[in-house]
Copies of this chain bind each other. A is one copy, B any other.
Amino acid sequence: RRQFLNDPDDVVAEALEGFARAHSDLVRWNRDPSYVIRADHGAHGSKVGLVSGGGSGHEPLHTGFVGRGMLDAAVPGQVFTSPTALQVAAATQAVDTGAGVVQIVKNYTGDVLNFRIAAEIAQDEGARVQQVLVDDDLATDPQLTGNPDGPGRRGTAAVVAVEKVCGAAAEAGADVVEVAALGRRVASSARSLAVALEAPAHPGRDRPSFDLGEHEVEFGVGIHGERGVGRRPFAPAAELLPQLTAPLVESLGLRRGDAALVIVNGLGSTHPLQLSLAYREVTRLLDGLGITTARSLLGSYVTALDMTGCSVTLVRLDDDLLRLWDAPVRTAALTW
């Protein structure tokens, strides 16, 4: 596949430069160690700092969520590779105004390790650091995979809700322990499932990372172009989307009258027309169950390069989370 590219090794750095150029009102890019930080960081006195990050290729995550009401810094690694501990530590220290820092970490071995080390380094330097682990991907639930000693559920699109809620709480003056507790509450109230219709290709590589037959889809994929938990027959949207949605309802134990945040997320190459159509199927199913779609997010927010497909995330909402979700936010990818 052809892509806009110079040297494949430079794709992340060049894209970050472009991103920072386009959003200089919102962010500043620190080239080395590489992290993206709010342009107005520190201008508004002391508040809990919020840092997330992970491999690149998931844009607009996380750089697109740096700004007022959400992240203070995002730490991008190479494509599908965790950022290094030093990058994360530098970003953590940079956003610490003395009120402590909450790190939001998607559950992948590399991310967990490097964020943990970064937290220790920052703590050694006197920062109060709390971590929120996001692990919403139901496809990798030990109960379903039957692998209780494995790394546990992966972190996927629920991270957007965690970042939004923590960001709002931090902006409102919550302390580092409160912000982290809220983040953990969102993470534990969230489940996701994804299906791929076509695999992505790495920058500079011609071939997609896996091949699908004409009449099958890859069910339970993550966001790194890896294969999912199984192949299923391709089917109309009215059949595929319930296969993603119903298990989430079940896993969260959602019942008639419960309220949910519904995220229908494109995985990279899914056209808005397709996503809107998918969203219709998801919310019709929830309507039928009497579950209220209290809020929703529809778009490509957590991607896997140019993978075609979508993920569905449900987050159980209570009044607190709803209020924090509704609080103002001003970032490149999310503004209200």
Report chain B residues within 8 Å CB of A1.
197-198, 308
Q: Is A172 an interface residue (CB 8 A)?
A: no
Q: Say which residue of B17, B296, B303, B310 sits within 8 Å of A271 (CB atoms).
A: B303
Q: How far is the CA of A21 from the CA of B276 in the complex (A)?
A: 9
- Which residues from 164 to 219 on chain A have a C-beta closer than 8 Å to any C-beta of chain B? 197-198, 203, 206, 212, 214, 217
Which residues in B have their C-beta under 8 angstroms from that of A305? 271, 273
CB contact under 8 A between A18 and B279, given known A273-B11, A274-B4: yes
| B197 near A298: Cβ-Cβ < 8 Å | no
Of B264, B280, B298, which one neighbours A17 at CB under 8 angstroms? B280
Q: Are A4 and B268 in contact (CB under 8 A)?
A: no
A271 to B203, CA, bound (A): 10
Which residues on B sit within 8 Å (CB–CB) of A281? 4, 18
Please give me the residue from chain B that is nearest to A264 by CB atom: B22
Residues on B with C-beta less than 8 A from A93 are none
A-B contact pairs, 9 of them (CB 8 A): A2-B197, A18-B278, A18-B280, A19-B276, A23-B298, A59-B271, A60-B272, A269-B306, A271-B303
6 more A-B residue pairs beyond the given contacts A2-B234, A4-B310, with a C-beta to C-beta distance below 8 A: A4-B197, A4-B281, A18-B280, A18-B281, A19-B279, A79-B273
Contact of A4 among B3, B241, B269, B303 (CB under 8 A): B241
Interface flag for A246 (CB, 8 Å): no
Q: Quick check: B6 and A236 within 8 Å, CB to CB?
A: yes
Q: Do A279 and B197 touch across chains, with their CB atoms under 8 A apart?
A: no
State the CA gap A273–B6 with chains docked (Å). Answer: 13
Q: What's the nearest-Cβ distance from chain B to residue A94, in Å?
A: 22
For residue A5, CB closer than 8 A to chain B, the reply is: yes
- Chain B residues within 8 Å of A3, by CB: 197, 271, 274
Which of these, B4, B293, B306, contacts A240 with CB under 8 Å? B4
Is A245's beta carbon under 8 Å from chain B?
no
